[in-house]
Amino acid sequence: MLDAGGRAPLLPQARAAFVEALDQGWADPRRLHAEGRRARLLLDGAREAIAGVVGARTEDVDLAPSHTAALHTAVLTVARGRRRTGADVVTPTVERAAVLHAADTAVAASGGRRVDVPVDGLGRVDLARMVEAVGAPGVALAALQHANGEVGTRQPVAEVHAAARRAGVPLLVDAGSSLGHTDVGDAWDVLAADAGDWGGPAGIGVLATRRGVRRSPVAPEDEDRWFPGGVSVPAALAAAVALQVAHAGRTAADTGRRALVDRVRARVAAEVPDTEVVGDPVDRLPHVVTFSFLYVDGEALVTALDALGFAVASGSACTSSSLEPSHVLAAMGVLTHGNVRLALPRGTRGEDVDRFLDVLPGVVARVRAAGGVDGL
Amino acid sequence: MTDDAPPPVVDARGLRCPAPVIALAKAARTAAPGSELTVLATDPAARHDVPAWARMRGHAMVSSTEDDGVWHLTVRLGDAPVA
């Protein structure tokens, strides 16, 4: 399993917490009876634990039914809350699709524009253009991911946050691929993250909002103001336990996986002809690496690797239900076909990565031969 | 070679990635260095992948336009294409 991006294997401690909470926290936390209060205590404890790791106050942490919902709500509620100040939403072109689509929805309502900011060949936002866009008049909010989950490149969040603060514009930082793997720092006004990515259960997203960021609900009235209906208490508790475990073991997991990614980058580039290994080789997430093979059909490659027991992701159009390739690879100007993306789960063993690297050149050669591209 | 003749066209309409790039690369193998080639493609990946291929092979992008769902991507082949 080399494809843990957004859905990592559940950490055993999180599984134990989930099962325990099915007994202790099954009730509706909105109820006033003893069982309801117990569920409420567990839910608030989960928020407190997550707040402790991200460096926020417990009351500033909301739990969402998914990372996508957290991002949508972040963009839409802040844009609406600041509609008298500005109508535009600033988005680098490599932001997650959920951010880009929510920005489209927000500006359709506000009458503003989605201001796209380009990236360089490593996938890093053009800092000068970003600072300029954030400081322009009429901006409701700006978004900048902490690091790109497809190519691993870290973004200059501290510099952009400083510029946003000077302009009085809130900065949404999508830490969906970072939290639990690396230090996300405190250069954010709104922070979103994904429990499924750090080894918690799927179905819990995090939205932390600094005091002073104005936002207005966009959903119908509900006791759970930002995420109507609330979230599963056992899932929330398991997400918090997983984050604490991931955070405590972060340094060791970071060092181990960083070295494995270095090995992947070096061997793939050296051993497979006509390959682009993309993203920043150094200033990157510890566990994410992606590369593209010229003239290779991504779907055939993923299928062939799966048959050999290797689960990998791909940003190639041929592997998705849509015809469009990864917007991240396209924005970087790198090959979109023949793409393979690895997100190493915590505890990935070096011998498993070596086995993958040993078979990869032969698999690529077979897919190329089937496509009749010898000598091109 | 006449300068005003339109560049040879590789018709890759209806083919899915990476077939348009492969078709273009096959045509480039027998074309003269420095000449231009145009590929027509309906696959949306082609407009990203043809420039990336050109960069990897030492060719230059000349133009990239879309007309009614068909991409017209023109490259000028390098003087000494990378083998």
C-beta atoms of B25 and A373 within 8 A: yes
Interface of B with A in 41-80 (CB under 8 A): 43-45, 48-49, 51-53, 55-56
Q: Write down the pLDDT at residue A4.
A: 92
| Angle between helix A250-271 and helix A233-248 axes, rounded to 10 deg | 80
> Under a CB-based contact definition with an 8 Å cutoff, are residues B54 and A327 in contact?
no
Residues of chain A with confidence (pLDDT) below 70: 318-323
- Vertex A303: Cα angle to A298 and A306 (nearest 5): 125
C-beta atoms of A276 and B48 within 8 A: no
Q: Write down the pLDDT at residue B83.
A: 47
Give ipTM to 2 decimals.
Answer: 0.90
Q: Amino acid letter at A297?
A: D
**Interface probe, candidates B16, B24, B37, B49, chain A, greatest A C-beta count within 10 A:** B49
Interface of A with B in 102-161 (CB under 8 A): none
**Interface probe, candidates B48, B57, B59, B71, chain A, greatest A C-beta count within 10 A:** B48
Query: Whole-model pTM?
Result: 0.95
Phi and psi torsions of A238, nearest 5°: -65, -35
Closest residue to B26, CB basis, from A316, A336, A376 = A376
Q: Write down the pLDDT at residue A318.
A: 65
Active site residue A73: no
Q: How is the beta sheet containing A339-343 ordered, strand by strand? A: A275-278, A288-293, A339-343
Q: Distance between CA A48 and CA A127 in Å, rounded?
A: 34
Q: Write down the pLDDT at residue A376.
A: 85
Q: Write down the pLDDT at residue A371.
A: 85
What is the per-residue pLDDT across A200-218, written as a single tens digit (0 to 9) for each? 999 999 999 999 999 999 9
pLDDT over threshold 80, residue B81: no
What torsion, rounded to 10 degrees, do the Cα atoms A269, A270, A273, A279 define?
A: 10
Q: Write down the pLDDT at residue A375.
A: 79
Helices (H), chain A: 12-24, 34-54, 67-81, 97-110, 127-135, 157-167, 233-248, 250-271, 298-307, 327-332, 350-370
Interface of B with A in 19-48 (CB under 8 A): 21-22, 25-26, 29, 43-45, 48
Q: Write down the pLDDT at residue A319.
A: 61
C-beta atoms of B22 and A295 within 8 A: yes
- Which residue numbers of B are catalytic? 17
What is the per-residue pLDDT across B17-72, written as a single tens digit (0 to 9) for each? 899 999 999 999 999 999 999 999 999 999 999 999 999 999 999 999 999 999 99
Phi and psi torsions of A19, nearest 5°: -65, -45
Q: Which residues of B touch A317 (CB under 8 A)?
A: 16-17, 43-45
Q: Amino acid letter at A122?
A: L
> Under a CB-based contact definition with an 8 Å cutoff, are residues B34 and B41 in contact?
no
Q: Which residues of B touch A319 (CB under 8 A)?
A: none
Q: Which residues of B touch A276 (CB under 8 A)?
A: 52, 56
